[in-house]
Amino acid sequence: MRKKGRGLTHIGELFSPKLLRELKGPTPIQKRIIEATNNPEPPDARSILYQHTVLCQTCLPYRDPGDDVRTWERLNGNVHLEISAGKAMHPEQGRLVPIPLPFGPKCRLVLMHINQRALQTRSPNIEVEDSLTAFVRRVLKLDPKGRNIRMVKDQLTRLSAASITLGVTRQTSTGNLAATGHLHVIEHFEVWFPKDERQRVFWPSTVDLSPTYFESLLGHAVPLNESHIAALSHSAMALDIYAWLAQRLCRVPPGKGAFISWAALHGQFGQGYNRLNNFRAAFRTALREVLAVYRDATITEDQRRPPRLALHGSTPVWREPALKGLTLHHSLPPVPRLLHPVSAPAPEKTESKTDREAPRQLRKSLLQHQP
Percent of the chain past pLDDT 90, that is, above it, reads 42
Amino acid at 107: C
One pLDDT digit (tens) per residue for the chain, 371 residues = 444 545 555 545 555 666 656 666 778 888 888 888 777 666 777 789 999 988 887 678 999 999 999 999 887 778 888 999 999 998 888 899 999 999 999 999 999 999 999 999 999 999 887 788 888 888 877 776 667 788 888 999 999 999 999 888 888 888 888 988 888 899 999 876 666 655 556 778 889 999 999 998 998 999 999 999 999 999 999 999 999 999 999 999 999 999 999 988 998 899 889 998 899 999 999 999 999 999 999 999 886 666 677 777 778 777 766 678 999 999 999 998 766 655 444 444 444 444 445 445 555 555 555 44
Rounded Cα gap, residues 261 and 244, in angstroms:
15
Burial state string for 62-85 with b = 16 or more CB within 10 A and e = fewer than 16:
beebeeeeeebebebeebbbbbbb
Query: In degrees rounded to 5, what are phi and psi of residue 273?
Result: -115, 105
| Residue among 220, 224, 200, 204 at smallest CA distance from 212 | 220
Express each pLDDT in 322-336 by its tens digit.
678 999 999 999 998
Mean pLDDT for the chain?
81
The answer to whether the beta carbons of residues 92 and 222 sit under 8 Å apart is no
| Cross-strand partners of 84 | 71, 163
Q: List, as own/partner pairs, every contact residues 143-150 make where C-beta atoms lie below 8 angstroms and the sequence separation is at least 24, other chains included.
A: 149/201, 150/201
- List the domain boundaries for the chain: 13-355
- For 331, the 3-state DSSP assignment is coil
Output the pTM of the full model: 0.81
Of 40, 85, 51, which is closest to residue 241 (Cα–Cα)?
51
